[in-house]
């Protein structure tokens, strides 16, 4: 009996081996065709990635999978592996330029400082004002009380509770993370699978794409323009959504433009997400620095929204690395799994500090930031630079009269002034730079004077 069954198993296995070999042969044939496509495209100067063609093939495979009773999700995952290889094969001959970002400039600036240079930091989103004094007391107290143990993955109950109260949700919908960045990271890692897509709206903080890259997800980009006031076109956004799209990432008040979208645009984005059951990652770390009416995505009660916030900007606590996310109970549970795997929990003294920070009045910081942005704005106007007046956040994103961002950024850095290249927020923004309002006016003035000089020599 067992012998016969094993024969059955053996025969099935032989068939599987043969089929596997056939599949591989066909895949190899496919790869060769993709290479030929790459050559033709190269001659024609056409982009490797063609969304329309990809979308057609995706629809075809989805239909075939449904008709044949094959798992659609599995079929699309497999297709993604094939498409990625095609893209890779097609791109192999095209050299990639390393991207300069505010982070890479910050790193260079730090190295120059370590070597003895004086640097004016207008490249980084790190307010220079002090964290609330009570935060220091909380640190000391947490040590005295021996509050430095593993905590619940999502955070200490008191902090979860305080955030829940502040945001008007139940405590199970909150997770405390090591910075807003890890909230973005764990949301994307938990909710988007390899080969699936997220849509970002550029110019954008590069973290969304970096996290998507990390999990092997694909990023599609909706580009906004200064001419249209950095407003995303919702119908364009709608046209980009495919069956493979899982998430839209938005960030208002925006880094780097300072834009806050109006209610109608936000309504449109949330409706779109709702219609297609997409996750809506709303990065609201600058919500406190909003000088135009700003409505959190939370107000829509959309169950697939993930709202990210942070203590970094509001309370000048960047180096404490503590932020949080608010989402559905189920989403938070999935994000907590990523957090448990990656870091166990956020450092307890840091959580205690965040809890105390939450009770502090940060309006002084907001007033100061607004004053600095006003100063920055009037000085940039004097320099005849074009930009959209920011509605919030901590930056201005002016267009350069000529030349490329990285050229200017590097020249300025040599002269001790660090600003961020616009292309760090999207490939198509090489004519822009981002200037932070995180330093005192005198310092910003000094930095801008230097920028003016360098720009004049340019023209």
Choose, by CB under 8 A, the member of 96, 98, 114, 115 that binds a copy of itself. 114
154 lies in the site for a copy of itself, by CB under 8 A: no
Choose, by CB under 8 A, the member of 140, 158, 170, 329 that binds a copy of itself. 140
Element (H, E) at 221: strand 218-223
Residue recorded with tokens 């097609």:
90
Phi, psi of 379 (to 5 degrees): -70, -40
Minimum Å gap between C-beta 231 and a copy of itself is 29
CB atoms within 10 A of CB 370: 16
Which of these, 214, 201, 258, lies nearest to 395 by C-alpha position? 258
Using CB under 8 A as the binding rule, the residues of this chain from 160 to 179 that contact a copy of itself are 178-179
With both helix axes pointing from N to C terminus, report the angle between 179-191 and 207-215 in degrees, rounded to the nearest 10: 40
Residue recorded with tokens 């043969």:
18
Instruction: Assess contact for 215 and 193: CB atoms under 8 A.
Output: yes
Piece of 100-108, 225-233, 279-287, 418-426 that binds a copy of itself (CB under 8 A): 100-108
Which of these, 49, 55, 53, lies nearest to 243 by C-alpha position? 55
- CA-to-CA separations, 56 to 62, 235, 258, in angstroms, rounded: 10, 20, 37
Minimum Å gap between C-beta 217 and a copy of itself is 12
Of the pair 29, 275, the CB lying nearest a copy of itself is at 29
434 lies in the site for a copy of itself, by CB under 8 A: no
Of the pair 123, 202, the CB lying nearest a copy of itself is at 123
12 lies in the site for a copy of itself, by CB under 8 A: yes
Minimum Å gap between C-beta 338 and a copy of itself is 7
317 lies in the site for a copy of itself, by CB under 8 A: yes
Of the pair 95, 114, the CB lying nearest a copy of itself is at 114
Piece of 60-68, 291-299, 373-381, 415-423 that binds a copy of itself (CB under 8 A): 60-68
91 lies in the site for a copy of itself, by CB under 8 A: no
149 lies in the site for a copy of itself, by CB under 8 A: yes
74 lies in the site for a copy of itself, by CB under 8 A: yes
Piece of 105-113, 259-267, 421-429, 448-456 that binds a copy of itself (CB under 8 A): 105-113
Instruction: Assess contact for 357 and 315: CB atoms under 8 A.
Output: yes
Minimum Å gap between C-beta 144 and a copy of itself is 7
Helix ranges (DSSP H) in 95-178: 102-114, 133-144, 157-167
Of the pair 254, 310, the CB lying nearest a copy of itself is at 310
Which of these, 93, 71, 92, 89, lies nearest to 30 by C-alpha position? 89
Choose, by CB under 8 A, the member of 47, 66, 117, 157 that binds a copy of itself. 157
Choose, by CB under 8 A, the member of 120, 162, 187, 338 that binds a copy of itself. 338
Of the pair 231, 242, the CB lying nearest a copy of itself is at 242
Could you tell me which residues come within 8 angstroms of residue 253 by beta carbon, excluding any fewer than 6 positions away?
A: 259, 260, 286, 287, 289, 290, 294, 390, 391, 392, 393
Piece of 136-144, 249-257, 381-389, 390-398 that binds a copy of itself (CB under 8 A): 136-144
Count of residues in contact with a copy of itself, rule CB under 8 A? 105
147 lies in the site for a copy of itself, by CB under 8 A: yes
Minimum Å gap between C-beta 173 and a copy of itself is 18
Residue recorded with tokens 């990639």:
96
Instruction: Assess contact for 306 and 269: CB atoms under 8 A.
Output: no
Helix ranges (DSSP H) in 232-327: 234-240, 263-275
Of the pair 122, 237, the CB lying nearest a copy of itself is at 122
Could you tell me which residues come within 8 angstroms of residue 397 by beta carbon, excluding any fewer than 6 positions away?
A: 203, 226, 256, 257, 258, 387, 388, 390, 422, 425, 432, 433, 434, 435
Of the pair 68, 363, the CB lying nearest a copy of itself is at 68
For residue 253, cis peptide bond before it (omega within 30 degrees of 0):
yes
x-marked contacts with a copy of itself along 197-216 as a string, rule CB under 8 A: ----------x--xx-xx-x
364 lies in the site for a copy of itself, by CB under 8 A: no
344 lies in the site for a copy of itself, by CB under 8 A: yes
- Side-chain half-sphere CA neighbours of 175 within 13 A: 33
């Amino acid at each position: 009996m067992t012998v016969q069954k094993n024969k059955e198993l053996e025969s099935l296995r032989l068939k599987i081996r043969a089929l596997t070999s056939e599949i591989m042969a066909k895949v190899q044939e496919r790869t060769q065709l993709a290479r030929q496509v790459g050559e033709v495209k190269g001659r024609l100067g056409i982009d490797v990635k063609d969304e329309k063609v990809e979308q057609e093939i995706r629809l075809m495979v989805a239909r075939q999978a449904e008709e044949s009773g094959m798992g659609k999700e599995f079929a699309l995952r497999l297709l993604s592996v094939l498409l990625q290889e095609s893209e890779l094969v097609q791109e192999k001959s095209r050299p990639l330029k390393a991207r300069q970002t505010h982070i890479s400039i910050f790193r260079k600036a730090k190295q120059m400082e370590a070597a003895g240079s004086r640097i004016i930091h207008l490249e980084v989103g790190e307010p220079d004002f002090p964290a609330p004094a009570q935060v220091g007391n909380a640190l000391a107290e947490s040590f005295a009380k021996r509050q430095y143990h593993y905590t619940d993955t999502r955070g200490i109950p008191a902090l979860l509770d305080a955030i829940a109260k502040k945001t008007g949700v139940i405590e199970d919908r909150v997770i405390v993370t090591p910075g807003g960045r890890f909230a973005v990271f764990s949301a994307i890692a938990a909710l988007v699978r390899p080969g699936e897509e997220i849509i970002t709206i550029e110019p954008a903080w590069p973290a969304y794409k970096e996290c998507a890259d990390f999990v092997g997800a694909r990023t599609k980009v909706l580009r906004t323009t200064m001419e249209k006031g950095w407003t995303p076109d919702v119908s364009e956004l709608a046209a980009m959504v495919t069956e493979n799209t899982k998430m839209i990432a938005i960030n208002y008040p925006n880094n780097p433009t300072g834009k806050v979208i109006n209610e109608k645009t936000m309504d449109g984005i949330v409706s779109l997400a709702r219609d297609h059951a997409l996750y809506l990652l709303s990065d609201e770390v600058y919500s406190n620095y909003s000088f135009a009416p700003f409505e959190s995505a939370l107000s829509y009660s959309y169950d697939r929204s993930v709202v990210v916030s942070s203590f970094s900007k509001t309370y000048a606590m960047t180096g404490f690395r503590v932020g949080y996310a608010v989402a559905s109970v189920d989403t938070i549970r999935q994000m907590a799994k990523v957090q448990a795997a990656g870091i166990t929990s956020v450092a307890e003294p840091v959580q205690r500090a965040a809890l105390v920070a939450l009770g502090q009045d940060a309006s002084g910081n907001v007033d100061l930031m607004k004053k600095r942005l006003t100063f920055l704005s009037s000085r940039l106007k004097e320099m005849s630079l074009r930009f959209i007046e920011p509605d919030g956040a901590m930056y201005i994103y002016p267009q350069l009269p000529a030349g490329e961002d990285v050229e200017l950024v590097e020249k300025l850095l040599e002269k001790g002034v660090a600003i961020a290249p616009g292309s760090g927020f999207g490939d198509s923004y090489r004519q822009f730079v981002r200037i932070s309002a995180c330093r005192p006016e005198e310092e910003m003035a000094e930095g801008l004077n230097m920028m003016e000089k360098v720009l004049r020599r340019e023209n």
